[in-house]
Structure 1
Amino acid sequence: MTTIATTTTTTATSAAATIATEVLSRLEGAWNRADGAAFGAVYQPGASFVTVQGQHAQDAEAIGAGHAGIFATIYARSVNTMELVSARELADGVVLAVSRNTLQVPAGPLAGTHQAMSTSILVRDPDGGWSVAATHNTLIGR
């Protein structure tokens, strides 16, 4: 079972933090199972994703395919821990979430521990669930 450590700021409401934690848990679980399709499925069909290298993927399928590619290569067997930093409701059905992501890569050219800050816009789906409309990642320098 994946556990998300939550450190919410005063801007986080309990509802927004609960929503963000659930979405982060789905992303973290998909990453740690190396399941690109499941990772992409957390995103809306027209979602936007900016990587730590500044690459831009558009739509859930491309986000999933891109992650499947890195799970099979540079981030093979990696473990990602996503810690909620803050969450707040921007409007009804829209949550802004910021997380600190710690990636442990066991081997290869990117072996080691890396951290990034991630900002995501979460939106309520018609079925009442939540998905990601946009994510932007920034690598934390060493």
Structure 2
Amino acid sequence: MGTIEDLFDRHRDAWNRGDGAAYGATFAADATYVSWLGTLYRGGEEIGRSHQALFESYLKGTRMTVEVLDVRHYGPDAAVVTTRGDVGRKAPGRLSKVQTYTVVRQDGEWRIAAFQNTKRARLREAVSFKLQPETGPRT
């Protein structure tokens, strides 16, 4: 029986190999995936298919960096994982995206049931917090 850490290792490894099928296999069959552009994909097979096309073009040779910030369990078979991450051909200086993963255990394996990816707008964020400090996070 795998762990959530094993899931993220498989997820990152599939990306780094440019293997869309393996990447899609880290998602549940009925998963949802929202890209940082706002594109909605449904199902591990579609997620894998679309990423294979990206791995063969725009994302060819990229590597994924993921830093897990928080894991909150909701029973033995569900958790929400918050990460910072990025992809690129070289190591990122600063991770530019924040992701939320909902993960579920199915047949003894952890899979991604839902994924939301948001590109940070650091300048807008800083201006907003300067103009209205009460809108900034406390942690």
TM range (shorter): 0.7 to 0.9
Identity percentage over the alignment?
29
Task: Indicate whether 1:24 and 2:4 are aligned.
Answer: no
113 and 85 in structure 1: CA distance in 2 versus 1, 3 angstrom threshold: closer
Equivalent in the alignment of 2:101: 120
Q: Partner of 2:58: helix, strand, or coil?
A: coil
> Which of residues 109, 121, 131 is equivalent to 1:141?
121
- RMSD of the alignment, in Å? 1.9
Letter in 2 for 1:85: L
In the alignment, structure 1 segments of 5+ residues that lack a partner are: 1-17, 107-111
Alpha-carbon separation, structure 2, partners of 1:29 and 1:102: 14
Alpha-carbon contact 1:119-1:136 (below 8 Å) kept: yes
> Structure 1's 26 and 46: CA in aligned 2 closer, same or farther, altered over 3 A?
same
Native 8 Å contact 1:117 1:138 kept in 2? yes
1:1-142 superposed matches below 5 A: 19-105=3-89, 115-126=96-107, 128-141=108-121
Could you tell me which runs of 5 or more consecutive residues in structure 2 were left unpaired when the two chains were aligned.
123-139
CA pair 74-113 structure 1, distance change in 2 beyond 3 A:
farther
Higher helix share: 2
Letter in 2 for 1:138: T
Deviation at residue 21 of structure 1 after TM alignment:
2.1
SS at 1:96 equivalent: strand
Flag the structure with more relative contact order, 1 or 2, with Cα contacts below 8 A and sequence separation at least 6: 1
The change in CA–CA distance for 1:115 and 1:81 in structure 2 (over 3 A counts) is: same
31 and 116 in structure 1: CA distance in 2 versus 1, 3 angstrom threshold: same
- Structure 2: distance between partners of 1:45 and 1:25: 19
Contact 2:3 2:109 in 1 (8 A): no
- TM, length-normalised to structure 1: 0.77
The answer to whether the 8 Å contact 1:20/1:84 transfers is no
The structure with more radius of gyration:
2
